[in-house]
Amino acid sequence: MSSDKVKVEALRGLEPIAALSGSRLGELAELTFIERVSKTLDPFRVKGVSGQLVYLLKGELALILGNGSSEVVVGGTAEARHPIGRKTPFASAKAITDIEVIRIDDDLLDIMVTWDQLAAAEEGAKRTTAAESPSIGNWAILTGLFSINNLKSGGAFSQLPTAHINELLKRFKRVTTKRGEVVVREGAEGDYYYVVETGKCLVERSVGGVSMRLAELKSGDAFGEEALVANAKRNATVTMLTDGTLLRLDKNDFNELLKKPLLHGVNMDVARAKVAQGGQWLDVRYPSEYQYDKLPGAINIPLAEIRNAVKILDKSREYVVYCQTGRRSSAAAFLLAQRGLRAYVLEGGLGGGEARAR
């Protein structure tokens, strides 16, 4: 069995994929591969169709039904425009000729279709009303933030309640920035949440009077959330390395549409139950605090290191995040949830008397 990327033209002939915008089809083509299966083999013997949309592009495929009868699907026909097995469930299959099929994740496509249709509806409303010009309302502008790769990774925007999607499209504002412009200054009050739409940014923090380079942000990366979640001052300075555009969300809108849906608090009883069932305590305080007073089995990743630690954490596992008061852990849990991890905040932190009785 061999594979190559599918062409956009092939996707345009499939339902309901054909309804997606051109830019989404292009992204989907980059993530979708053709599977070539030899004659007489069952393409679903090892990997079935559950949770996927599977399409026959070329060749002839026999579907063996539960009653022993069979149906033949031929690539390129009207029937082959629709996913295999959606209309008539089958027990097994057999390639009558050499065939080509593609698989697309069901949830991913559903997220894409939802965003695409709501974005299109918002854009249509703008053509009939005097909407503000900076408002975000179409996929072309949101290429970085709502790219398929971001949605597929299980990040913040794949987890949002559907009802919030349309409001986000209305409330995000697009801001043009120049190279060298300081967007966020360390020590200032938190007022906005930002996503890089185009261009690059430099994140720096002052340590002992010396500016330390922390990260370089690119299209699709977000910043500014820590100060908003923790109700604290900015802990770093963000400067544009190039000209670019940012998507900006007001603090109140951020709290309503992103923070509340993504930030989940649990009390000690629930937290212990989650850990007993395979979850992990995550202490986001300084190592000196962690060594002196930690919960049994906890691992230590200070808040400042959470972004870099995401790639080593297990997305299949639940994390119960704690600090002394709940402030740092709230910020850390949001950062984790934003990147697709299941994170919960221990309400009140270790400062709550309940946490001490362990």
358 and 296 in contact (C-beta within 8 Å)? yes
Distance of CA 28 to the CA centre of its chain: 15
Annotated active-site residue 201? The verdict is no
Can you state the angle between helices 106-128 and 162-171, rounded to 10 degrees?
40
* Counts for the chain of helices (H) and strands (E), in that order: 14, 20
Other Cβ atoms within 10 Å of 84 Cβ, number:
23
Eight-state DSSP code of residue 133: T
Q: Kindly name the residue from 323, 332, 337, 350 that is annotated as catalytic.
A: 323
Q: CA-to-CA distance for 305 and 314, rounded, in angstroms?
A: 16
C-alpha dist (Å) from residue 70 to 46, 73, 167: 20, 10, 48
* Dist CA 115 CA 121 (whole Å): 10
Tokens 């790219």 found at: 147
Distances (CA, A) of 211 to 202, 218, 237: 12, 21, 10
Q: How far apart are alpha carbons 94 and 145 in whole angstroms? A: 41
**From CA 288, how far away is CA 297, in angstroms rounded?**
16
Element (H, E) at 11: helix 8-11
The sheet with strand 318-322 has its strands ordered as 265-266, 342-346, 318-322, 280-283, 299-300
Give the catalytic positions in this structure: 323
